Amino acid sequence: MEHFISVRDLKIRYLEKGDGLPFLLLHGFNFSADTWVEMGLFDELSKAYTVYSFDMPYGSKSKSDKFDATDRDEYAVFLKDLLKTLEVQEPLLLGASISGDVVLRYLSAGYSAKLGIVAGPAGVKGLADRLGKIAVPLLAVWGSKDTLSSPDGGQIIETQVKNSEIHIIEGAGHACYLDKPEEFKTIVADFLKKFAG
């Protein structure tokens, strides 16, 4: 289940489980690949997909000074290189917080993906003029009490991304998927039924 791969001279740890379409889980700042295992989503998705959970270069177990943390477009290119190294095409992508931002940048750049899911994505307002380039279905989820990434970003996504859905989880904070994991998993499952078969 645990593997390592070299991308741009960085040793990247990732978890893999299941069989089916590739599904990537990307953690928030200072979290790790294990976050998705601990909250149950990794195992749940592995029943229908080949699930990958990566330690990104801004994670608690994998921080790298090879990246300028303010240049998130570079993280999107890194994600593209990571997928190319693994020979993964048209993945389903789920990113939380900073990874939500990376997923939005990845999709708006037109890189290969089947759909995108973001939870409390950071920096939505700064991406407003690029979001219209996203051509795949997109689900955006916020906690109603998110003080780090305003749920108001949902209105921007809804306006700019043609095939998008917005969900607000009442009572949840920035890490809405950890505050209310079962509700989050249900929202994701319903979205996947519509767009991932």
- Which positions are annotated as active-site residues? 97, 146, 174
Compute the distance between CA of residue 72 and CA of residue 70 in angstroms, rounded to an integer: 6
Dist. CA 83–CA 30, nearest whole Å = 22
Do 3 and 33 contact (CB within 8 A), yes or no?
A: no
Cα 73 to Cα 108: distance, rounded to the nearest angstrom: 10
Angle between helices 72-86 and 98-108 (to 10 degrees): 70
In angstroms, the Cα distances linking 22 to 87, 105, 148, 167 are 10, 19, 30, 24
Q: Find how far residue 2's CA is from the centre of its chain.
A: 19
φ, ψ at 41 (rounded to 5°): -75, -35
3-state secondary structure 99-167: HHHHHHHHHHCCCCCCEEEEECCCCCHHHCCCHHHCCCCEEEEEECCCCCCCCCHHHHHHHHCCCEEEE
